[in-house]
């Protein structure tokens, strides 16, 4: 029997290693503060539970940071692949100097439990409240708890996209259904 060929690992730059785990979909964070709405692009986040709870990382140099600190709430929106260029452009400008909803022709839909608006064009929106900011000053990390979820019944595209971290993105492709193999986790599906 021939030996299985195993490739050897090669060292990778540590300052680029975040690209290995930055696999969740790129998000838009919607905030409202002092009668001004804003959007920011975010790819640094983690799912922390089924409730849903998630952690996001954004720094004080972002206009949205102040809104999140002051209000303790936001909307996490998952844009579809057809919005990719627009989402990158949203991340390259400041809401301090423009209305990003108007600038990028996006529809701000009123949320039910938070002041920040939903992004109507997105696949999903999750109204959130900050439940823990213990790591905010040291790591710019906030824990959010979802309080109401929304889905778009007629999205222009059903695929999300993921940042690789170097200006490239992966667009979701084929869906593989293995629900029948999920014997241990049937209550989750």
Residue 55: its pLDDT value, please?
95
- Kindly give the residue spans of alpha helices, DSSP state H, lying in the chain: 18-21, 63-71, 84-91, 100-103, 136-139
Question: Looking at the whole model, is its pTM more than 0.85?
Answer: yes
Residue ranges of E strands in the chain: 27-33, 36-42, 45-49, 53-57, 73-78, 108-109, 118-119, 124-132, 141-151, 161-163, 169-171
From the first residue on, what is the mean pLDDT of each consecutive set of 10 residues in the chain (189 residues)?
A: 79 73 84 96 89 92 94 97 97 93 97 97 96 95 95 94 87 84 67
Predicted local confidence at residue 186, as pLDDT: 62
Q: For residues 37 and 99, is the Cβ–Cβ distance under 8 A?
A: yes
């Amino acid at each position: 029997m021939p030996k299985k060929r195993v490739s050897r690992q090669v060292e990778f730059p540590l300052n680029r290693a975040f690209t290995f785990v930055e696999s969740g979909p790129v998000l838009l964070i919607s905030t409202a503060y002092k009668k001004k709405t804003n959007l920011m692009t975010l790819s640094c986040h983690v799912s922390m539970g089924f409730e849903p709870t998630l952690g996001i990382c954004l720094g004080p140099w972002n206009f949205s940071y102040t809104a999140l600190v002051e209000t303790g709430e936001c909307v996490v929106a998952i844009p579809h692949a057809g919005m990719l260029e627009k989402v990158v452009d949203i991340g390259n400008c400041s809401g301090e100097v423009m209305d990003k909803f108007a600038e990028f022709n996006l529809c701000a839909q009123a949320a039910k439990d938070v002041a920040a608006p939903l992004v109507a064009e997105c696949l999903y929106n999750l109204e959130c409240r900050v439940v823990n900011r213990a790591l905010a000053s040291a790591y710019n990390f906030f824990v959010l708890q979802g309080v109401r979820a929304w889905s778009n019944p007629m999205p222009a595209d059903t695929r999300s996209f993921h940042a690789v971290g170097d200006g490239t993105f992966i667009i979701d492709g084929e869906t593989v259904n293995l629900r029948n193999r999920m014997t241990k986790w049937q209550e989750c599906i």
